[in-house]
Amino acid sequence: MTDRQTRSATDVVILGAGPAGLVLGNLLQNSGIDCVVLERAERAHIQTRARAGFLAANTVRILERHGLAEGLHRSGRVHSTCEFRTADGRFRLDYGGLGRGERHTVYPQQQLVTDLLTRFLASGGRVDFATEAVAVLDTDTDRPSVTVREADGHPGRWAARYVAGCDGRHGAARRSLPAGSVRRHHCDHGVTWLGLLAEAPPSLDAVGYAVHERGFAGHMARTSEITRYYVQCERGTPADAWSEERIWDELDLRMRGTEYGPLHRGRVVERAVVDLESDVLEPLRHGSLFLAGDAAGLVSPCAAKGANLAVLEAEILAGALVDDLVHGDSEGLDAYSARCLAYIWRAQEFSHWMIRLLHGPSGSDGTSSFHNSLRRSRLTSLRTSRSHQDWFAEHYVGV
């Protein structure tokens, strides 16, 4: 290997500059641990990529604990209400006054990523953008390495003591797992959403969940001028298949605009098709390689858990790495997988429950009728039972 292909060693190589990777990088850097973040996208892309926007109370506490919450305190909005619209009417849950009394903070993920990145770079951190991790090698040793394709197209290699795979379900960390070393749990929920970002003010002061015979529709405010919508569509529908007029007409119909007021319309600036899937790998540690964020487990967007789990896992991993690298205590690393999987499966269970609550089978056969009647009963219980509402609130905001 030539000098051009060799890089100096670092303590931890972090793959991916999303919430998991950047929280981990900041926490390691704060503890004096040398690390580098490798990100396959350009900087502008990760700072403008619209993703999740609801931060759980525990996520806010983690960011506060490590001095990473300045931006969300300045620009985030506290949110604590959701509204369900069904054929039997509508009802609201002030979940901030139920369960543990916790609320969400609405703060778009691209703004959080920008905050984390700015803080990491300002404190001397290194991020190599447009650098694609190709493979993680020698994870069964105490000197793993990561081969990369750099921004100029040349090959490179990073050596480290540990590698943190925060690069998603299709990243190099997952691809590099030794054959037979992992058990994959996967569920395709058979539901597809058309996800939309619209230059339109929110149409209600709550998260809106519409349960309709034509399919689900959802309303989630992002800012005073931007709203995210979801509308259920048939599997295989191209993102550009529906005109804007059809999109707004369908949203108005499913959210019962004639009964509760029409939606504020605006230009659709982003659209993407999302097949609702759940995916978990076990274990999350493979020698000197650790998985976090979507690389560890993909949670369907139905319950807004993905980014919150990523931040939690990053804090757990950071603490364990500090204990090992600074204090010579490997107990946290040994327990990392089991600790995170307990949170992941709890989030998966609630996400699965939400999917079944909001989506019913199509058709008029006896089985479809049975399951749709069950769904109607669940909604009635959620509307009328305080104990059911407390359970919902605790799991809706909790991680």
Distance CA 173, CA 65 (A): 28
Which ranges of 292-330 would DSSP assign to H, the alpha helix? Answer: 306-327
Question: Is the Cβ–Cβ distance between 9 and 159 less than 8 Å?
Answer: yes
Strand order in the sheet with 104-106: 54-55, 104-106, 77-79
Question: Is the Cβ–Cβ distance between 155 and 5 less than 8 Å?
Answer: yes
Q: How far is CA 103 from CA 206, 219, 348, in A?
A: 12, 18, 20
Question: Three-state SS for 108?
Answer: coil
Closest by CA to 200, choosing from 227, 220, 231, is: 227
Which residues are catalytically annotated?
79, 209, 301, 305, 396
Question: Three-state SS for 127?
Answer: strand
Question: Is the Cβ–Cβ distance between 330 and 345 less than 8 Å?
Answer: no
- Residue 20 buriedness (CB in 10 A; 0-12 / 13-18 / 19+): buried
